[in-house]
Amino acid sequence: MLNCGRMKTPLKSKTKRRGSGGDGRPGSAKKRKSSLVSAARMQQKILQTIAKIPHGKVSTYGAVAAAAGFSGRARLVARALHGSRGVPWQRVLGSGGAIKLQGENAFEQRFRLQSEGVGFRGKKVDMKQHEHRWKKPRAR
């Protein structure tokens, strides 16, 4: 019998295996849990790194990521800052010293930086004068 588009094909069974993370792969629940823990550790490490930026100095998202040990993960820094409290968020900028926030948040960031004595050249921070230089980790 030919299926001319009128007959529905039988659906596959959607049963889940016991002990799995729900996706049918054994042990995936453990991987998911450990990745959540490591994500929390990464966020904590990034926030600790941001807290080390001194008053009157700034750093970029990419430089913070590299200093925290996550080179090439600038977006991870932005994500960590998104819901954080008690860290000097205003000291983290986009590449070249650009404020990447929009609207009132951008005005607040600029105001906070200026109150710390950070100088601007147009819309960007004068990075030659105010960029925080991270110490390179020692070779073990």
Q: Is 137 among the domain residues?
A: no
CA-CA distance, 140 to 136, in Å (whole number)? 12
Assign residue 92 the CATH number of its domain. 1.10.10.10
Q: Is there a domain that residue 53 lies in?
A: yes
pTM above 0.75, yes or no: no
* 84 inside domain: yes
Number of domains within the chain = 1
Residue 7 lies inside a defined structural domain of this protein? no
Decide if 107 contacts 79 (C-beta within 8 A): no
Query: Residue ranges of the alpha helices (H) in the chain?
Result: 28-51, 61-68, 74-82, 104-115, 127-130
Q: Is 139 within a domain?
A: no
Tens of pLDDT along the chain (140 residues) come to 555 555 555 555 555 555 555 555 555 555 555 555 588 899 999 999 999 999 999 999 999 999 999 999 999 999 999 989 999 999 999 999 999 999 999 999 999 999 999 999 999 999 999 999 998 766 66
End-to-end CA distance of the chain: 71
